[in-house]
Structure 1
Amino acid sequence: MSEASQQRLEPGPAIPVHEPSQRLEGPEAAGPAPASGRFRPRRAFWRRRAVRAAAVITVLALCGLVILALVRDQTGTDGFLVGLGLGVLPVPLLMAAFRWLDGVDPAPWRNLLFSFAWGAFAAALVAIIANTFATQWIATATADPAGAQSLGATVIAPVVEESTKAAAVLLLFLFRRREFTGLVDGVVFAGFTATGFAFTENILYLGSAFGEDRSMGSAGLASVTAATFFVRVVLSPFAHPLFTVLTGIGFGLAAMAPRRRRIRRFVLPLLGLALAMGTHALWNGSSSLFGPYGFYAVYGLFMVPVFGLVTWLAIWSRQRGLRTVAAELLAYAEAGWLPSAAPQALSSMRARTVARDFAHRTFGPQAARAVVEYEASATTLAFLRHRARRGTAGPDFAGRERELLDRLWARGGTAGPALTFAARATGRVRVPPPYIDYDGFNPYRQY
């Protein structure tokens, strides 16, 4: 990597790297073992991980049962099934897109499933109750049901829905801080939350449209169901994810801010949430604010450009993450912890795939799993070191760095040759020697 590329990554102050000869092996790597019979204070019952996980699952499951009953009550059984079958169609595509975006340093599935479940169950339940109550209260107070519906869609719904969806991102930001490290994480968590919310909302809208068609005897392409499906699933499946991603960007930028910048860490999420509410309000009120063609004007002149800008920002952040991996791992390669070609190989998703395939083809599935674990640990180490340069790594940086280095060292015998082969095969680097020997293994030999 050129010096100019490294300078663009803002490396900051130098962080020393221990030599491999200084590494700890065996029990010493984790510190002295506790003495036999040592007193261990009991953790409070509610602080146990299993208890907290069970509580979260129980709450989300109850919310799911309640929202299921409410939606089924409004749409009927047939409408619910039709809405479910049609509403689920965009979900795999959106989840795959956000998972691809998160491919450099993938978040644990438990966080993604929590985000989706929160959006589909908890956020949807709060939104449907709050929106209905507020709209009915305004209609009663003003004696203007039509105006109450318009105000509810333009003002109340964006505030309530974006706030409830943002709660999932906030919880992950507070309680999964180690796994919430940058802009891409904010985008992915917000995207999964909004995908879940849109899924439940689509069931409600499509099921209600099906019931309306049945009552009027409509069918085919001229039906309300077909029109609703086209607008919500075909034309704008990205609408809810786009709104909430703006909130996720605010949290992601806050996660990247140094710990001493407390005002920035507080203001950026609020700014992102305000932008999400404003964009949502403009989308909902496009027809009432700008006439019958307002929806198409807002869609073409505002939503599509914003969607393109956010998509570009997310992909740029993903590529920047790959460049960060190459720049930060270079110091460890020079110290002897990694093969010299590993930083460049790990900064390419294609090279990572080639390394896994090579290990699987040559040594079997267990070796391929070792390469996957090596790639994950190396990426985590690179981002940890990058955060340390920016002053956001936390006081446990040294211990976490040592743990990750030991993981890399333990898997280096298998992953090193595979990454070296991948770097050479993909043209990431040119390896000068005719062959490189790792414990008697020649990575250039055809096995």
Structure 2
Amino acid sequence: MAIDPSAILTGRAPGRAPIGVILGIVFASVCLIVILAFDAITGGASFVVGLSLAVLPVAVWLPLVLALDRLEPEPPNALIFAFLWGAGVAALFASILNTLGLSLLTETELTGEEEGWYIVATFGAPVVEELLKGAVLFGMLWWRRQELNGPTDGVIYAAMVGLGFAATENIQYFIDAVEVDQLGYVFVLRAIVSPLLHPLCTAMTGIGVAVAALAGPGKLRRRAPLYGLLGAIALHSLWNGSTKFGIGGLAFAYLVGFAVLIGLIVILARDRRRIVQLIGHYLPLYGPVGIVTHDDLRMLSTLPGRRAARAWARAAGGRPAERAMTDYQQAATELALLHQRAGAQRDLDPHGLEQQRQYLVWVMQQARAAFLARQPRPPAPTWGTTGFGPPTRP
């Protein structure tokens, strides 16, 4: 049976289709279609305006989120599923549950409509929405823990969920704003002032889940996801509740959110350094088998070095060689992370880890043979000024 490198690099057993992810994408897509159809029917012509404006923040922030995922890219189908989960499943069921909560408060005359909205927005919606958005992350922790190799992965998946949720939610907000002639104000508030509210809140759950994925058996694995979820709920509740206190309340909530954003940036920067250190620590073990050289290690340690190597491979052998270089880089990174995961998590299956290690080594061998198959035309560039050079033959 031919071994598919893409299956190995996405953590699947070779020859097995990602049935679970495919079914998840289908289900989430159906939920998204349902909520879009409802908005189209109830919003009329305003739906087109709402949909168009809701897409704009996604077009700006989605490339930036994916740019964080360059050192160890996540499987595209998993990223699509995360986005659709937020846009479809989480948005649909949050809308239903939030509406039911408001109805319970107002129709039983426990509160007035305005006070009911505030209670739901401050105390009900954050719990409902963060639980629904975080559900896919908890699912990954249970069924796809190998995809969570650090805080960066948790943030990436959480941001995809949050962007999807925000896009769908914004459609309804913009439709309502058109009807009361406040579209400009609502667009500024939703798309400019707070476009990262949902990704930022859910990122806290993502970090908690990622910490648990790397931890060995014990309290940290059990508690980290809960702490992350509670942090997401608290931040979301703070933002929604601040609207009652005018500019001062909004400024305080914005300051807290900005501090959380800076904290996330620091965590992501440290995580990138951690991955580079793992590459430098574990991959020299494979020097004797001829799949890693000193030049390779320097190339793998920086994003500019990786880009330069892909450019060299394309000049040498066209797109197939460039694709092989990309596979080599990803397999090398996954191999280093696999070693780290095997050392930290004592409850993992040793046979499964060894099989995955052999698969990754095979991918590196095949990819290296592919991008070294032709001599560079034009000759390989000299990158001495940047410290990077083309991989050498073993």
> Residues 269 and 359 from structure 1, CA distance in 2 versus in 1: closer, same or farther, beyond 3 angstroms?
same
5+ long unaligned stretches in structure 2: 3-15
Instruction: Say whether 1:96 aligns with 2:63.
Output: yes
- Structure 1 residue 437: deviation in Å? 6.7
Q: Provide Cα deviations, 1:304-354, integer angstroms capped at 9, x if missing partner.
A: 122111122123212322232222212222554312221121111111111
Task: Give the TM-score taking structure 1 as reference length.
Answer: 0.78
> Residues 52 and 257 from structure 1, CA distance in 2 versus in 1: closer, same or farther, beyond 3 angstroms?
closer
Q: Check whether the contact 1:327–1:343 (CA below 8 A) recurs between aligned residues.
A: no
What's 1:191 paired with? 159
Structure 2 residue aligned with 1:228, among 172, 178, 186? 186
> Residues 165 and 437 from structure 1, CA distance in 2 versus in 1: closer, same or farther, beyond 3 angstroms?
closer
In structure 2, distance between residues paired with 1:251 and 1:365:
37
> Residues 157 and 422 from structure 1, CA distance in 2 versus in 1: closer, same or farther, beyond 3 angstroms?
farther
What's 1:297 paired with? 252
What's 1:383 paired with? 337
Q: Check whether the contact 1:334–1:340 (CA below 8 A) recurs between aligned residues.
A: no
> Residues 424 and 228 from structure 1, CA distance in 2 versus in 1: closer, same or farther, beyond 3 angstroms?
same
Task: Give the TM-score taking structure 2 as reference length.
Answer: 0.87
In structure 2, distance between residues paired with 1:51 and 1:353:
33
Is 52-61 or 144-153 further displaced after alignment? Answer: 52-61
Q: Provide Cα deviations, 1:187-237, integer angstroms capped at 9, x if missing partner.
A: 111100000000001111111101222xxxxxxxxxx11111111111221
What's 2:13 paired with? none
- Structure 1 residue 157: deviation in Å? 0.5
In structure 2, distance between residues paired with 1:61 and 1:200:
12
1:334-353 residue pairs with structure 2 within 5 A?
Answer: 336-353=290-307
What's 2:199 paired with? 241
What's 1:272 paired with? 228
What's 2:322 paired with? 368
Q: What is the letter of the counterpart of residue 243 of structure 1?
A: C
- Structure 1 residue 130: deviation in Å? 0.3
* Aligned length in residues: 373
> Residues 367 and 50 from structure 1, CA distance in 2 versus in 1: closer, same or farther, beyond 3 angstroms?
closer
In structure 2, distance between residues paired with 1:79 and 1:355:
49
Q: Check whether the contact 1:127–1:160 (CA below 8 A) recurs between aligned residues.
A: yes
| Bigger radius of gyration among the two | 1
1:323-334 residue pairs with structure 2 within 5 A?
Answer: 323-333=277-287
Instruction: Say whether 1:209 aligns with 2:177.
Output: yes
Q: Check whether the contact 1:209–1:228 (CA below 8 A) recurs between aligned residues.
A: yes
Q: Check whether the contact 1:111–1:172 (CA below 8 A) recurs between aligned residues.
A: no
Q: Check whether the contact 1:344–1:423 (CA below 8 A) recurs between aligned residues.
A: no
Q: What is the letter of the counterpart of residue 156 of structure 2?
A: V
What's 1:252 paired with? 210
In structure 2, distance between residues paired with 1:412 and 1:401:
16
- Structure 1 residue 72: deviation in Å? 2.7
Q: What is the letter of the counterpart of residue 280 of structure 2?
A: A
Q: What is the letter of the counterpart of residue 47 of structure 2?
A: F
What's 1:157 paired with? 125
Q: Check whether the contact 1:183–1:256 (CA below 8 A) recurs between aligned residues.
A: no
- Structure 1 residue 382: deviation in Å? 1.0
In structure 2, distance between residues paired with 1:116 and 1:426:
40
> Residues 423 and 228 from structure 1, CA distance in 2 versus in 1: closer, same or farther, beyond 3 angstroms?
farther
> Residues 415 and 339 from structure 1, CA distance in 2 versus in 1: closer, same or farther, beyond 3 angstroms?
farther
Q: Check whether the contact 2:163–2:199 (CA below 8 A) recurs between aligned residues.
A: yes
SS in 2 for 1:286: helix
- Structure 1 residue 50: deviation in Å? 6.7
5+ long unaligned stretches in structure 1: 1-25, 28-47, 214-223, 440-447
> How much is the aligned-residue C-alpha RMSD, in angstroms?
2.5
